[in-house]
């Protein structure tokens, strides 16, 4: 999204009264304040990342990675174990949305009900947007289902019924292809099925991540909804862009994904901008490295040093993104295998000033 001429007041003057630019969003009984959601992202938005986002503040609703309903059921039956992606879900603070995917109503309903009743999650979200081959083509789930709005409605209705009173939401793309954009039909089917909100990523499945998110198309859905809140998603990277999105496109909420992977403090910047307050500065390189090491420790506690080191490579690259020297850092950090190598590479090559030995040892 491009930004033009943004000042950042938190209210829009409309005649006699000042109307908040982005009032809290309601998803059933859940109040999302500010109406800025952290996007579900497979491979990234696990408990450690969510904890970082929570500590930094400013996101109104956090979400897990997408979880296969079938995988959940089969794994539990076979090994008596829950999916790794449920790490933290039982105990972490609310509000929290858990996203599930499948094309089978019984699977989705069974897992949705477990999440609602046993795990007491705030929101059960269903994925109808994933374009990845294994999910869309092979498993005929995610964005594959967009070609059949009626079926999407049936799936949502089953899950709504199974999860009641926990709210159920859906996340979609504009359609399967540029020639078959049908987000209005799908959104209406989702609303008629009793969903409590819908998120629309302004691309088609065919687009994958090419081009830019089409916010005009997202905005066009709004007049076709009776009561269900609309959350817009795609390409928002700064607080100013979010302010502009609320002003221009009239969605009830926005969802932020990639931009907050390396800058999880983006949410608090957005929160301040929406409230008309001064925007907190970006973290300095030294603060960012501290955060990175804290993030690493959360992963080590869960997965042990070896697996955590491998997992942390991808986050470390995101943290460095956009800083001079990021490329060299990425080259080195992509190879690390042990905690010692990881710390060494962060100390030497993370873009910005070197950490003091003292601050590193504190994190050990
Ligand atoms: C690595 C990665 C993993 C993703 N995983 C999911 C997922 O599990 N569920 C989902 O609904 N969307 C997923 N998405 C899509 C994002 O939620 C979001 O819709 C998309 O990135 C556009 O928003 P952004 O421009 O703010 O990143 C993923 C995106 C990325 C880049």
Query: What is residue 77's predicted lDDT score, i.e. its pLDDT?
Result: 94
Query: Ligand 1: distance of its center to the CA of 358 in Å?
Result: 37
- Beta carbons of 98 and 90 less than 8 angstroms apart: no
User: Which among 234, 228, 223 has a CA at the least distance from the CA of 259?
Assistant: 234
Task: Name the closest-CA residue to atom 30, ligand 1.
Answer: 41
What residues have CB less than 8 Å from 286, skipping those under 6 apart? 352, 353, 355
Q: Which uninterrupted H or E stretch holds 207?
A: none
Q: What is the pLDDT of residues 126-167, one digit of tens each?
A: 999 999 999 999 999 999 999 999 999 999 999 999 999 999
For ligand 1, atom 18: residue with the closest CA? 257
- Mean pLDDT, residues 171-196: 98
Give the nearest ligand 1 atom to 171 CA. 11
Mean pLDDT of 97-103: 98
Residues 218-276 have pLDDT tens digits of 999 999 999 999 999 999 999 999 999 999 999 999 999 999 999 999 999 999 999 99
Asked if residue 67 has its Cβ within 6 Å of ligand 1, the reply is no
Q: Strand pairing partners for 84?
A: none
Distance in Å, CA 174 to ligand 1 centroid: 14
Active site residues: 130
Q: What is the largest CA-CA distance in the chain?
A: 63
| pLDDT (0 to 100) of residue 91 | 97
Site to substitute for ligand 1 among 2, 36, 37, 42, most atoms within 8 A of C-beta: 42
Strand locations in 102-246 (E): 123-128, 168-173, 197-201, 230-233
Ligand 1 contact via 43 beta carbon (within 6 Å) = yes
Q: In this structure, what token pair is assigned to residue 233?
A: 């998603």
Q: What band does 17 get if pLDDT is binned at 50, 70 and 90?
A: low
Specify the pLDDT at position 363: 42
Structure tokens at 272: 């301040």
Tell how far the Cα of 357 is from the centroid of ligand 1, in angstroms: 36
pLDDT tens digits for 65-90?
999 999 999 999 999 999 999 999 99
| Nearest atom within ligand 1 for CA of residue 260 | 26
State which ligand 1 atom lies nearest to the alpha carbon of 129.
Answer: 11
């Amino acid at each position: 999204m491009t930004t033009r001429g943004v000042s950042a007041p938190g209210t829009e003057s409309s005649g006699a009264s000042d109307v908040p630019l982005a009032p809290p969003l309601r998803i059933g009984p859940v109040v999302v304040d500010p109406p800025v959601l952290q996007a579900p992202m497979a491979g990234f938005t696990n408990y450690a990342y969510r904890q970082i986002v929570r500590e930094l503040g400013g996101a109104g609703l956090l979400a897990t990675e997408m979880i296969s309903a079938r995988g959940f059921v089969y794994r539990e039956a076979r090994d008596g174990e829950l999916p790794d992606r449920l790490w933290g879900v039982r105990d972490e603070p609310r509000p929290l949305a858990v996203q599930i995917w499948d094309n089978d109503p019984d699977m989705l309903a069974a897992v949705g009900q477990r999440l609602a009743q046993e795990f007491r999650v705030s929101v059960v979200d269903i994925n109808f947007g994933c374009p990845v081959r294994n999910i869309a083509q092979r498993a005929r789930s995610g964005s594959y289902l967009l070609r059949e709005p009626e079926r999407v409605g049936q799936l949502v209705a089953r899950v709504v019924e199974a999860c009641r009173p926990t709210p159920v939401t859906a996340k979609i793309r504009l359609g399967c292809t540029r020639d078959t954009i049908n987000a209005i039909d799908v959104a209406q089917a989702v609303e008629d099925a009793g969903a409590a909100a819908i998120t629309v990523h302004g691309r088609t499945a065919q687009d994958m991540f090419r081009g830019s998110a089409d916010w005009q198309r997202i905005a066009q859905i709004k007049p076709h909804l009776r009561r269900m809140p609309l959350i817009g998603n795609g390409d928002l990277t700064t607080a100013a862009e979010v302010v502009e999105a609320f002003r221009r496109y009239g969605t009830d909420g926005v969802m932020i994904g990639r931009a907050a992977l390396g800058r999880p403090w983006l949410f608090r910047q957005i929160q301040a901008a929406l409230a008309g307050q001064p925007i907190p500065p970006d973290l300095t390189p030294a603060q960012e490295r501290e955060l990175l090491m804290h993030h690493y420790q959360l992963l080590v506690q869960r997965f042990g040093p070896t697996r955590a080191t491998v997992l942390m490579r991808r986050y470390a690259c995101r943290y460095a993104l956009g800083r001079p020297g990021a490329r060299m850092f990425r080259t080195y950090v992509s190879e690390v295998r042990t905690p010692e190598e990881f710390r060494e590479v962060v100390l030497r090559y993370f873009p910005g000033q070197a950490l003091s030995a003292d601050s590193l040892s504190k994190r050990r």
